[in-house]
Amino acid sequence: MKETKRKKLHGIRERLLDVYLEEADPENWTNEESAKEEAQELLEAGAKPSEVMKVKTGWKGERYWEKKNANQTMAMLLNIERYLEATGAGGVAGGVEEADDEEIARFEREAKKRLARTRPRLVSGGKK
């Protein structure tokens, strides 16, 4: 991958992360109280009663789409991350340092303990 494209993808990833952090924050989602406030403002501004009722009663649908939008932003982030990792262009995991021998030994001991706990069930066909 060309350096310019890699930099561009990294920039898009950073901007999408900023957008996601804003969208995923429940404080920013529509709730019943904010819908009532918006409906009151519309009423004071002379909006039609039907428009005011749409805002007042449609807040759950709006909230649903806000959550769905945040979810799709994260999906795009994950796809970019996977692509960067697959092409070796330095995803988040690209800068991870290698584990030292002591850490590897600790992971191996932990894996052996877990295998020892599950092995009897595997031998007896899933029954203890």
Q: Which tens digit of pLDDT belongs to each residue from 48-76?
A: 999 999 988 999 999 999 999 999 999 99
Residue 71 backbone phi and psi in degrees, to 5: -60, -40
pLDDT, tens digit, 9 for 90 and up, residues 16-45: 999 999 999 999 999 999 999 999 999 999
Q: How far apart are CA 98 and CA 93, in angstroms?
A: 11
